[in-house]
Amino acid sequence: MARSQKSARTAEPLGDFTENIVDIDVTSEMEGSFLEYAYSVIYSRALPDARDGLKPVQRRILYMMSDMGLRPDRGHVKSARVVGEVMGKLHPHGDTAIYDAMVRMAQDFSLRLPLIDGHGNFGSLDDGPAAPRYTEARLAAAALTMTDHLDEDVVDFVPNYDNQLTQPDVLPAAFPNLLVNGTTGIAVGMATNMPPHNLVEVIAAARHLIANPGATLDDIMRFIPGPDLPTGGRIVGLDGIRDAYATGRGSFKTRAKVEVEQLSARRTGLVVTELPYMVGPEKVIEKIKDAVNAKKLTGISDVVDLTDRNHGLRLVIELKNGFNPNAVLQQLYRYSPMEDSFGINNVTLVDGQPQTLGLLQLLQVYVEHRLTVVRRRTSFRLGKKKDRLHLVEGLLIAIVDIDEVIQIIRSSDEASAARERLMSIYDLTEIQANYILELRLRQLTKYSRLELEKEQDELRREIEALEAILASDELLRDLVSGELAVVAEKYGTPRRTVLLESEAVSPTVAAALAASTPGPKGKAAALPLEIPDDPCWALLSTSGQIARTSNQEPLAEAGPRAKHDVFRSVVKTTARGEIGAVTSQGRMLRLQVMDMPVLPPMSGLPNLAGGVPAKDFITLVKGETLVAFVPLDAILAIGTVQGIVKRVQPDYPLNREDWEIIALKDKDSVLAVEPAQEDDVDLVFVTRQAQLLRFSASIVRPQGRTAGGMAGIKLAAGDEVIHFGTVRANDPAAVVVTIAGTNGALPGTAPGTAKVTAFEEYPAKGRATGGVRVHRFLKGEDTLLLAWAGHGPAKASSAAGVARALPHEHGRRDGSGVPLSQPVEAIGPSMAWPDAAE
């Protein structure tokens, strides 16, 4: 009951209350309110000014930090303090918006030239920053050029939100910040999105425009060919950039920087070191995994992020065996953020109005702004110099008779009387008289007539120079251009982003695309994803490097040689085939050719320096070495150090990866393995004591893989085999090469003698005999350092990697050799090894 009575009393109108209801049209009210909101967003939040390239919140942050004295040579302060100062004095909005703007100006992956020096966690491309109470900040060195000379009347100041303080309407901006750092913002009904550019290039273009006001867009683009993104990467296709520079709107594609690397002996991968602008590695990994799970991407086994502070971004995409790395990369560009598109929309405020400007117009607006700033600064300095000169001239008049001046002041009843008497007696102005009256006696000690006259002359020269600048547009432009050059020299850095007119295609990709079947419209088909089973060569060098070629082109017979270019084994195979690898302990391992590293297309001798060491590719026990590559479908001839020979049948197990192909005796090891499918080839042994034995392969019957072989050459005490091989019977070009030396000399120190003899000079002997003499030792020689028999002519490779022909000495199979001028490190044929391997 009490509650109802109270409600009734409250509902009663006051005695003097007059009801007045105003009818408002909702449509007009909504239109007006929305226009006010849109105007506020466009002009006070989202769009940058074309002159300094800053939004209001960014400008207020820089100005307040400058006003707080947060210079680069002073300590950092808490970000929360900066945010509070900005919010309380200049920007009455949320602290989150202020801190976000502050964080972006400190991120080196967002801005090409950061304006704030942040200390602490200011975020990454994948994670946000720490709270403002945990981070610290101060102005970066480059930001000082944005706020310099604000105390010299270079820009207009406007009231803040409560009319108690003032703030600059625009910053002086000693470099074109809008182009250098770019910007992004979403207003109402419009948006802006501008990429960063290189400071040196932009300033060079601005200086050219200053010197040549009538420059065209083509002239400017000679200095600014395209954006320069903070994270590097590659820009593919420049047509969109040209459109954007001309009209203010356009787009371009950015791609990650990717290299194909051999991650291990058997595994190839794509290594990403640069990503498109504003794309983080975690986002890339997530999209790749999603595409793999959705079966859009194939051939990828794992993605590992090895990014660290010391080495920067390193994203390793491991590939499955049998997949073409370049084809997988094309898929990654299609289904992951490793290729991204950037849309340029140059919407900025010019004289308070939003406009879409091209590159030339943006530079023109900045140049005019900078000319105005320097002109106003010069006028301000001229006024200061003139005021000081006026005071110095008055002081010079008074200091000539300073005693009388003091007497006039002492004898005057008040300051106004003293001022009038000084003005009348010495013909001074009121300003000069007041300055003299305000001087303290102790200041008179530092004044002398000579010093004042010197200052007067200096002031007059400075005034003359300042007046000349104001009177000459050419001098003003030269001054602005010179200041820009200083900024570029001090803060400029090399270009990071590579500009490509079209997609760069490697020679391997180009060859694959050229060989692909044309599409329905005559275009080449896409690069095959899986590696085709194309013919190739499997190569093994004398230094233990293994690799395969990308095709089966004939190996070059001549050309410059490099390290690892002396081939021990050359096997004809296919990319998806299998070959055998024979070790010194008589084991054979099954190798997948696809797992071998691929050499680039050959334009001469293949360079096996691009291969991998055999010990990284196959598992070898202690003391075991890789002897040769062999085909798995041919009868093989095996020779050992102790002179054992064996021909083995290719009945290898299909369910094992390694097996024994010869049962070796103690202290014996496999020296060489050669295909010996036909019976019309000769088997050749050469020993360290210069004995050579040749006999027909037909007298060595093929055996099973577990057999121990049979006697090949009879060795003298202390002798051993240093060469075993096969030579086609009745080959007129076959030769025997031997190099003699001293057993006690260090390898490569004694040149010794070399000899090349026709193979037909050596008669065939029976198996298990001692053979014939192949080289007569000279004084000081007691051993063969190297020996080789096969299709010739032969060449020796010196330590410098230069192949040199060896001298022939036909008709004296047991004669001595010709002295070498320098040591050699290996012997190999100059031609027809592939034919011999067949």
Q: Which is nearest to 622 in space by CA: 580, 583, 673? A: 583
Helices 430-438, 415-426: inter-axial angle, 10-degree rounding: 120
The secondary structure of 628-664 as a DSSP string is: EEE-TTS-EEEEETTSEEEEE-----SS-SEEESS-P
Residue that is written with structure tokens 């209001």 in the block: 56
Return left, alpha or beta for 288; rule: phi > 0 is left, psi -120 to 50 is alpha, else beta: alpha
Return the structure tokens found at 733.
């070009």
96 CB-near residues (< 8 Å, 6+ apart): none
Taking only Cα atoms into account, the Rg of the chain, rounded to an integer number of angstroms, comes to: 43
How far from the centroid of its chain's Cα atoms is residue 168's Cα?
40
Report the SS3 class of residue 182: coil
Per the annotation, the verdict on 277 as an active-site residue is no
Distance, in Å, from the CA atom of 640 to the CA atom of 668, rounded to the nearest integer, reads 7
Q: Which is nearest to 605 in space by CA: 801, 789, 439? A: 801
How far from the centroid of its chain's Cα atoms is residue 687's Cα?
54
Q: In what order do the strands lie in the sheet with 612-613?
A: 567-574, 535-541, 545-548, 612-613
Q: How far apart are the first and last CA of the chain?
A: 116
Distance, in Å, from the CA atom of 3 to the CA atom of 733, rounded to the nearest integer, reads 126
Q: Which of 134, 366, 447, 491 is catalytic?
A: 134
Q: Which is nearest to 770 in space by CA: 834, 685, 836? A: 685
779 CB-near residues (< 8 Å, 6+ apart): none
Distance, in Å, from the CA atom of 648 to the CA atom of 660, rounded to the nearest integer, reads 11
Q: Which is nearest to 256 in space by CA: 328, 344, 336, 343? A: 336
The secondary structure of 533-560 as a DSSP string is: --EEEEEEETTSEEEE-SS-PPPPSSS-
The secondary structure of 726-750 as a DSSP string is: EEETT-TTEEEEEEEE-TTSPTTT-
Largest Cα–Cα separation, the chain: 143
Return the structure tokens found at 470.
């104001």
Cis omega (within 30 of 0) for bond into 494: no
Q: Looking at the annotation, which residues are catalytic?
A: 134
